[in-house]
A and B are shown apart, each in its own frame.
Chain A
Amino acid sequence: GIQVEQSPPDLILQEGANSTLRCNFSDSVNNLQWFHQNPWGQLINLFYIPSGTKQNGRLSATTVATERYSLLYISSSQTTDSGVYFCAVFYGQNFVFGPGTRLSVLP
């Protein structure tokens, strides 16, 4: 099956800093999503990005499908950005999730 890896596993930032989260996958996929799980456990869709670049406010994402990776950029981080960020790909019949990056933004 496909392997989905995320790095770094943990990240601590001061408010206002920028960060880049990475998602690597071991096979070709047609669908990639980024999610944010907030401290209350809710999973929030950030981007549906099988290829190319998208931006939404302070967040942007880039997927290079031919090289099997995706990047999530967070600029001017805020404490509300804290939580776990997951990437997920659709492979075969199912979505497969990476292990997540836990982000803590300190005031």
Chain B
Amino acid sequence: NAGVTQTPKFQVLKTGQSMTLQCAQDMNHEYMSWYRQDPGMGLRLIHYSVGAGITDQGEVPNGYNVSRSTTEDFPLRLLSAAPSQTSVYFCASSYSRLRPSYEQYFGPGTRLTVT
């Protein structure tokens, strides 16, 4: 298993540009989520999905868009990048809470800088 993969590892954008951060998992996990981590801080939830076709907002959803057309993929779109979106982005996945065990696994992260 490759686990949770994210691309790209690094990205520099200009203000106003758009881009998509890719996330994929091969563990057949129902639950997937995106977090951002700012310097010296913990992880804040952006969006999450409990299954294909179902997404919902987390703590800091503004400026981001998601979709979940397959179980494996959960891309995060920045519609019009702003310097405040400079951060490290982590994707994570787990089985649903209906399973006996649903520990969360993280991807390696994408370091995004918006100038």
Q: Which residues of A contact B (CB under 8 A)?
A: 30-31, 33, 35, 41-43, 45, 48, 86, 88, 90, 93-95, 97-100
CB <8 Å contact, B42 and A94:
no
CB <8 Å contact, A95 and B104:
yes
CB <8 Å contact, B33 and A94:
yes
Give the 5 A-B residue pairs with the shortest CB-CB distance, closest first: A48-B103, A43-B106, A97-B43, A97-B42, A99-B42
Instruction: Scan B7-48; emit 1 where CB is below 8 A from any A CB, else 0.
Output: 000000000000000000000000001000000011101001
Q: A93-B48, A94-B33 are in contact. Are A45 and B103 (CB under 8 A)?
A: yes
- Size of B's binding interface in residues, CB under 8 A: 23
CB <8 Å contact, A43 and B103:
no
B48, B101, B109: the one contacting A48 at CB < 8 Å is B101
Q: Which residues of B contact A (CB under 8 A)?
A: 33, 41-43, 45, 48, 50, 56, 58, 88, 90, 92, 94, 97, 101-106, 108-109, 111
Interface of A is mostly: strand
Closest Cβ neighbor of A37 among chain B residues: B37
Closest Cβ neighbor of B105 among chain A residues: A45
Q: In the docked arrangement, what's the CA distance between A42 and B103, Å?
A: 17
CB <8 Å contact, B102 and A31:
yes
